[in-house]
Amino acid sequence: MIAADKPRQRASSARLLVIAAGGSLTHAARTDLVDFLRRGDLVVANDAATLPASLHGMHLPTGAAIEVRLAGRLARDAGDLRRCIAVVFGAGDFRIRTEDRPLPPALAAGDRLALGPLAAMIERGLDHPRLIALRFDGSATEVWTGLARHGRPIQYAHMPMPLKLWDVWTPIAGPPVAFEPPSAGFALDWRLLAVLRDRGIGFATLTHAAGISSTGDVDLDRRLPFPEPYFIPASAVRAIRRSRGCSGRIVAVGTTVVRALEHAASLGGGVRPGAGIARQRIDARTKLRVVDAILSGAHEPGSSHYDLLRAFADDATLRAATAELDAQHYRTHEFGDSLLVERRRPCASCWRESVVRAAA
Amino acid sequence: MAKTYNPVPRKPHDRDSVAGLRVAITGGTSGLGLALVHEFVARGARAAFVARDRARVECIAAAASAHGIVGDVACKEDIHRIALQVLGLLGGLDCLINNASSLGPVPLRPLGDTDCEDLELALATNVVGPFRLTKALLGALAASAREDRGAVVLNVSSDAAINAYAGWGAYGTSKAALRQLSRIWHEEMKTQGVGFLSLDPGDMDTPLHTLALPDADPATLKRPETAARELVDAICIALAGRSRLPPSRDGASIDACTEAAAAPG
């Protein structure tokens, strides 16, 4: 696989590797995605807009240059970003691989940070030299103004040009709660949504506050993903029931949708509308209750994204898929090509369970 | 305070109510835009408005109990910053009003005397800016429609969009383009439940009108508060899924070029 290094959300050349339930692999153009869906299926996407969560500035006690990457919101209210979890890097920017970024100066509770027009204080450290809880000065409104003026999208060294907010703003973007883009949604456009409708394929959204995908620090990366708040609207739950009722598949656009739906379903009683906080990891051991297929970016083995795919397909199938992605030079990362992975076989008992629930 | 999770439910299809409606208005510190901010807030909506002058924005935000956002819709770099703040502060969006307008060169002049740059600026403010902002907020509007809250974009139009008034070339051309943009948006987005309105509020006693026609007698002009009330009524009807808009009370043409918001499927 090669890194996609241009911020084009819907490159006309984007490709799609379809991994069917039986393990067969099919290469396609991503614009033909709809041909792999059936009447009655439901496509569920994450409509979170992406925050400009990277803030350059200074650690005032030492005068050292730092980059603060907001990574989680501490208030329940999505309109209130005054208190956040953040990962702090020393001097430099996204052009340096996160693995190579220097540590920030020693960070202590009470330290003041100057971040452009925003001022903040470290509330406490979170058991790692890079990880803090911080509080911005001022009102919630002033924090929005400051972020809009000074914040930049979080980005990584594989993308050489600085990203603008519009580069990471999906076509369906709504509430700005994601710290990194729910990038599987880059594959969506309004033409596709119209075609889905014409073909009797449902479309629904939920809002999941996608967190940061990587810190470059092995210990810290092991703690990812951080707990992520989500909101599932009533319309999405109705659509899931409708689709289930006619044996349609639930197709998640991106790992965040899988996390939200599977977390909601894990609470018992099927997926219910409302807010929740996804804390679970999804991997080979996860028994999927709701999602039948996932549209996702192409990710390297070992990443948490790849781990999540192991809930859908067995390791032999994923190894074969990775070999195909390599051989065919698929492009990886958020602006790259896509995979459509169907769950290996409908888990008969889960399936029955959800149909019974849907009927209830 | 904005709440994204557990958004305040809004009673769908209530034809007289905009209570709980999340609305964003550009050009909100003077004339019709300011009157719209007051009208929406008075009727229980949650409003955010956009304008260029920081001092005026802050002053009106405090006085009107609305969220003020500093930005210029003619500036590409500002659009997603505006969208970010609108969605962050309101938690989502049910109604966007593209009201900010540039008159083009003043005093008004024939096209032959209009600098190309002045035409470009009028197009940037009156056509490209509304297009960009609508695009950045389209996902939020469509989500609102899926939730049965309704979703409407109002692009403020003018009779100069239809009639060829000498001296109004830059403005009239840009408003004609905005009107056509509204119609095509509407055709394309109605299946997603997002309706587009292009309405002419009539000749009002506003700073823009004074710029254009300094000698006009204000007594002959409509008060912006009256126009704002009519526009909010029209939005109520559109949100309630009505298909036709009534004529304005004092006979000024309401340019009902579009069908009202289609009920989401």
| Average pLDDT of chain A, as a whole number | 93
Tokens of B43: 């009727």
pLDDT at residue number A2? 83
Q: Could you tell me which of A175, B152, A172, B137 has the C-alpha nearest to residue B129?
A: B137
Residue A54 C-alpha, separation from nearest chain B C-alpha, in angstroms: 14
- Contacts B67 to A, Cβ<8 Å: 141
What are A153's two structure tokens? 């999208």
Is B165 assigned a catalytic role? Answer: no
Q: Is there a contact between A166 and B88 if contact means CB atoms under 8 Å apart?
A: no
Radius of gyration of chain A (CA): 20
Judging contacts by C-beta atoms under 8 Å, the chain A residues touching residue B136 are 166, 169, 173
The reported pTM is 0.91
ipTM: 0.93
* CATH number for the domain whose boundaries are A54-150: 2.40.10.240
Q: Is the pLDDT of residue B230 over 80?
A: yes
Question: Which residue, among A72, A61, A74, A164, has the nearest Cα to A104 in the 3D structure?
Answer: A61
- From residue B44, give the alpha-carbon distance in Å to each of A194, B5, B19, B41, B149: 34, 20, 4, 5, 15
- For β-strands A228-232 and A202-208, DSSP reports them as antiparallel
pLDDT tens column, B251-262: 333 343 333 333
Q: Do B1 and A49 touch (CB under 8 A)?
A: no
Which of B171, B173, B209, B227 does the annotation list as catalytic? B171
Q: Quick one: pLDDT band at residue B166, thresholds 50, 70, 90? A: very high
Size of interface A-B (CB pairs under 8 A): 115
- Spatial distance between the Cα atoms of B220 and B130, rounded to a whole number of angstroms: 30
| Beta carbons within 10 angstroms of residue A268's beta carbon | 7
CB contact under 8 A, A235 and B80: no
Question: CB distance A235–B147 less than 8 Å?
Answer: yes
Q: Which candidate from B67, B142, B192 shows the least CB-CB separation from A141?
A: B67
Task: Provide block-wise average pLDDT over 10 residues at a time, chain A (360 residues).
Answer: 85 93 96 96 98 98 98 92 97 94 96 98 96 97 97 94 96 97 95 96 97 90 91 97 95 97 93 94 94 93 87 96 95 92 70 43
Which residues fall within 8 angstroms of residue A165, CB to CB, at 6 or more apart? A50, A52, A153, B80, B81, B84
Residues, chain B: 265
Of A47, A79, A204, the CB nearest to B2: A79
Nearest chain A CA: its distance from B41 CA (Å) = 18
**Do B103 and B36 contact (CB within 8 A), yes or no?**
no
Interface of B with A in 128-147 (CB under 8 A): 136, 138-140, 142-143, 146-147
With beta carbons under 8 A apart, name residues in chain A contacting B82: 148
| B18-54 pLDDT tens trace | 999 999 999 999 999 999 999 999 999 999 999 999 9
How many Å apart are CA A18 and CA A21, to the nearest integer? Answer: 10
Q: Residues of chain A whose C-beta is under 8 A from some C-beta in B?
A: 47, 49, 51-52, 76-81, 140-141, 144-145, 147-149, 164-166, 169-177, 190, 193-194, 197, 204-205, 207, 229, 231, 233-235, 274-275
Domain locations along chain A: 2-50+162-359, 54-150
| Minimal CA separation from B104 to chain A, in Å | 28
Closest Cα to residue B133, out of B24, B35, B36, B256? B24
Buried (b) or exposed (e) across B177-204, using 16+ Cβ within 10 A? Answer: bbbebbbebbeebbebbbbbbbbbbbbb
B192 has a chain A CB within 8 A of its CB: yes
How far apart CA B26 and CA B178 sit, in angstroms, is: 15
Query: Which residues of chain A does B88 touch, with a Cβ-Cβ cutoff of 8 Å?
Result: 78-79, 81, 144, 147, 175-176
Tokens, residue A300? 């390297």
Beta strands in chain A, from DSSP E residues, in sequence order:
2-3, 15-19, 25-29, 42-46, 49-50, 54-59, 64-73, 83-89, 112-115, 118-125, 131-136, 176-178, 202-208, 228-232, 250-253, 274-278, 293-297, 331-332, 338-342
Q: According to CATH, what is the number of the domain A2-50+162-359?
A: 3.40.1780.10
Task: Give tens-digit pLDDT for B172-223.
Answer: 999 999 999 999 999 999 999 999 999 999 999 999 999 999 999 999 999 9
pLDDT per position as a tens digit, B102-150: 999 999 999 999 999 999 999 999 999 999 999 999 999 999 999 999 9
pLDDT at residue A268, as a whole number = 87
What is the per-residue pLDDT for B250?
34
Q: Which residues pair with A203 in a beta bridge?
A: A43
Q: What is the pLDDT at residue B10?
A: 59
pLDDT confidence of residue B14: 54
The secondary structure of A168-182 as a DSSP string is H--TT--SEEESS--
Q: How far apart are CA A206 and CA A234, in angstroms?
A: 9
DSSP string covering B227-261: HHHHHHHHHHHHHTT-S-PPPPTTSPPP---SPPP
Q: Which residues pair with B198 in a beta bridge?
A: B155
Residue B4 has pLDDT above 60, yes or no: no
Query: Are A137 and A123 a contacting pair, CB within 8 Å?
Result: no
Residue A166 three-state SS? helix
Q: Tell me whether residues B143 and A172 touch, CB distance under 8 A.
A: yes
Q: Which candidate, B241, B246, B237, B244, places its Cα nearest to that of B258?
A: B244
Give me the percent of chain A exceeding a pLDDT of 70: 96
